[in-house]
Amino acid sequence: MITIVGGGMAGSECAYICAQAGLKVRLYEMRGPHQTPAHKTDYLAELVCSNSFKSQDPATPAGQLKTEMKALGSLLIPTAEKHSVPGGSALAVDRDHFAKAITETLSDHTNIEIIREQFTPEMAEQLLGSGGQLVIATGPLTSEPLGQWLAELTGQEHLYFYDAVSPTVDASTLNMDVIFAQSRYDKGEGDDYLNCPFNKEEYDAFITALVAADRVPLKDFEDPKYFEGCKPIEEIASKGHDSLRFGNFKPVGLRDPRTDRRPWAALQLRPENREKTLYSLVACQTRMKWGPQLEVLKMVPGLENAEFVRMGVIHRNTYIESPKVLTPWLEFKSRPGLFLAGQITGVEGYVESAAMGIYVAHTLIRRSQGLEPVVPSRPSAYGSLISHLSDAETEREFAPMNINWGLFPDPEPFIKNKGERKIAKLAAAETAFNSWLAELGLLTPVS
Ligand SMILES: Cc1cc2nc3c(=O)[nH]c(=O)nc-3n(C[C@H](O)[C@H](O)[C@H](O)COP(=O)(O)OP(=O)(O)OC[C@H]3O[C@@H](n4cnc5c(N)ncnc54)[C@H](O)[C@@H]3O)c2cc1C
């Protein structure tokens, strides 16, 4: 018997895959008796905001991930295709028909028992104490007692109740004629940090645009007191024209090789992964709307043509610092039998969350057969997401990530042409995924 908590994207996929493999599943979903602040119905797999499952183009990161999910037996993606509505290149769905269909499929499944009840820490302890397998897939709006329990289990510092995420850029799109590599006062590895140097005019123009940019309003259930210590840069800049220059963008300890002088201000970039294919903008948390955010950040010297793979956000989101506390197959290192799936692991988005539900299900199936977990090969879309969740070597502020080109490893040797590089990344992903499927020994490889 597998117990899954949360009938959202991840929990629904996990329950279905396990049940299809013949495992008995108990799925707890609290909606009905208890609502979350964002869900509106009792349906399983409810989409809380947009109705899009991202690009359907197979030659995109989201397209590749969906191809892999379908090959692993996804319920959500084929159901989304069945209930799609016109959405351009995106797989957009009729949200009610979609969620109703998922709810019916899971409710009708002979191997699934759905329990409409809030799962509590006491229930978790009891289940784990008796040797049960438990999957927590309670998402960004996990009920408070369960969130507190996870915080105690992991250590408070490894559980986040808010995302205060700085934007991330694709390293291959940075203007390295302007940006220079240097750690402040040359401490640490020389090229750990990249620096975008501002002169006075550039800084003045940037601050003016930053302060004027449209911001995302707080939702009713978001409490600004959580944001202390991660104040948005536009708020800091609103307090005084030079406040960023003396704070987050301070240039001390830096020397611009083009001028041989300290810049007027500097925005630092820090690698997000071992391969340094992604860099995050250090201390650049923001609530700017995405359109204006892009315009303002492209004013930063060196970022004119940067491809932003993740925009800055500050919103309520429960997630775990997975690289520190989970194995690469998403089981707690300290509590065998306890798995996480979905957004709480540190992926972001409907599709990515659902993908993690499928992933955990396959490990549970293997375990029920006495087999070891098999971690996906790095270049696949799954391997790229799992690498983000398990890379404990890179010093970084771990933050939720959606699937994007920057997560896929660069081809070796490096291909300068962007279009050709993407084709090579996809080809490598496909090969890697097929070899993972073969290793899993479960399904026919996709071509
Ligand atoms: C306000 C908001 C807007 C978003 N907009 C988008 C968007 O437009 N596009 C996008 O791709 N992603 C969006 N996301 C992210 C999206 O929610 C997640 O990516 C996705 O739904 C997460 O899937 P999940 O399965 O991890 O969690 P969820 O889909 O949220 O499912 C978790 C389930 O667990 C249940 N639950 C929680 N605690 C308990 C408990 N103790 N006992 C039993 N059940 C419990 C909840 O009721 C919920 O049904 C948004 C998130 C939020 C909060």
* Closest residue CA from atom 29 of ligand 1: 8
* Predicted local confidence at residue 270, as pLDDT: 87
Distance from residue 259's CA to the centre of ligand 1 (Å): 49
Establish whether residue 363 lines the binding site of ligand 1, counting it when its CB lies within 6 angstroms of any ligand atom.
Answer: no
Kindly list the domain boundaries of the chain, sorted by start residue. 2-165+315-440, 168-311
The pTM of this model reads 0.85
Q: What is the pLDDT of residues 315-328, one digit of tens each?
A: 778 899 999 999 99
Using the atom order of ligand 1, give the atom closest to the CA of residue 12: 25
Q: Among 28, 123, 353, name the best residue to mutate to test ligand 1's pocket (greatest count of ligand atoms within 8 A of Cβ).
A: 353
Which fold, 168-311? Elongation Factor Tu (Ef-tu); domain 3 (2.40.30)
Establish whether residue 148 lines the binding site of ligand 1, counting it when its CB lies within 6 angstroms of any ligand atom.
Answer: no
Establish whether residue 5 lines the binding site of ligand 1, counting it when its CB lies within 6 angstroms of any ligand atom.
Answer: yes
Contacts for 321 with CB less than 8 Å, ≥ 6 apart:
154, 157, 158, 159, 160, 346, 398
Establish whether residue 318 lines the binding site of ligand 1, counting it when its CB lies within 6 angstroms of any ligand atom.
Answer: no
Q: What is the pLDDT of residues 276-329, one digit of tens each?
A: 899 999 989 899 999 999 999 999 999 999 999 989 888 778 899 999 999 999
Which option is the CATH number for 2-165+315-440: 2.40.420.20, 3.60.20.10, 3.40.630.10, 3.50.50.60? Answer: 3.50.50.60
* Closest residue CA from atom 15 of ligand 1: 349
Distance from residue 184's CA to the centre of ligand 1 (Å): 39
* Closest residue CA from atom 13 of ligand 1: 349
Using the atom order of ligand 1, give the atom closest to the CA of residue 138: 34
Q: What is the pLDDT of residues 1-55, one digit of tens each?
A: 999 999 999 999 999 999 999 999 999 999 999 988 888 899 999 998 888 999 9
* Predicted local confidence at residue 397, as pLDDT: 79
* Predicted local confidence at residue 446, as pLDDT: 47
Contacts for 217 with CB less than 8 Å, ≥ 6 apart:
none
* Closest residue CA from atom 30 of ligand 1: 139
Judging by beta carbons within 10 Å of its beta carbon (0-12, 13-18, 19+), is residue 334 exposed, middle or buried?
Answer: exposed
* Predicted local confidence at residue 226, as pLDDT: 52
Residues of the chain with pLDDT under 50: 445-447
Distance from residue 145's CA to the centre of ligand 1 (Å): 17
